[in-house]
């Protein structure tokens, strides 16, 4: 059985709901509180690939670093976006659940059921 990991922010209601959904189904995921233990750029690149999205699609645009770093004008620069997310993990959309080579964004939380 593949290990299941959730990139989690305990202050986020969707993240808490997704974790609860997993636990209700008997899943005890590895919990990575990504704000204090941020993923590397390489890990982010792998997650983006598993989600079949572009890096900009995984960015929280309302967070302050998005504005202060001028990321709106760099949306097509995947490397710049990945670098920004690695340096400022608050920019990473959450929660992200990974199982093997599959990933799902828990917005809504039920999305993660597809990879279980």
Instruction: List pLDDT tens digits, range 65-81.
Output: 999 999 999 999 999 99
Number of domains, the chain: 1
Task: Give the C-alpha separation, 42 to 56, whole Å.
Answer: 15
Q: Give me the DSSP letters along 22-78.
A: HHHTT--PEEEETTTSPPPHHHHHHHHHHHT--GGGGB-TTSHHHHHTTGGGGTT-H
Annotation says 10 is catalytic? no
Instruction: List pLDDT tens digits, range 36-65.
Output: 999 999 999 999 999 999 999 999 999 999
Residue 65's CB: how many other CB atoms inside 10 A?
16
Task: Give the C-alpha separation, 31 to 9, whole Å.
Answer: 9
Domain residues for 60?
A: 4-115
Among candidate residues 5, 6, 12, 53, the one labeled active-site is 12
CATH of the domain at 99: 3.40.30.10
At 1, the pLDDT band (50, 70, 90 cuts) reads low
């Amino acid at each position: 059985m593949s290990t299941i990991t959730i990139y989690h922010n305990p202050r986020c209601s969707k993240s808490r709901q997704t974790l609860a959904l997993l636990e209700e189904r008997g899943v005890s995921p590895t919990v990575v509180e990504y704000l204090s233990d941020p993923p590397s750029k390489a890990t982010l690149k792998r997650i983006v690939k598993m989600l079949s999205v572009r890096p900009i699609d995984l960015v929280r645009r309302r967070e302050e670093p998005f504005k202060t770093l001028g990321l709106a004008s760099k949306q097509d620069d995947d490397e710049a976006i990945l670098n920004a997310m690695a340096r400022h993990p608050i920019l990473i959309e959450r929660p992200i659940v990974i199982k093997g080579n599959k990933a799902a964004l828990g917005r809504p939380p039920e999305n993660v059921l597809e990879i279980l």
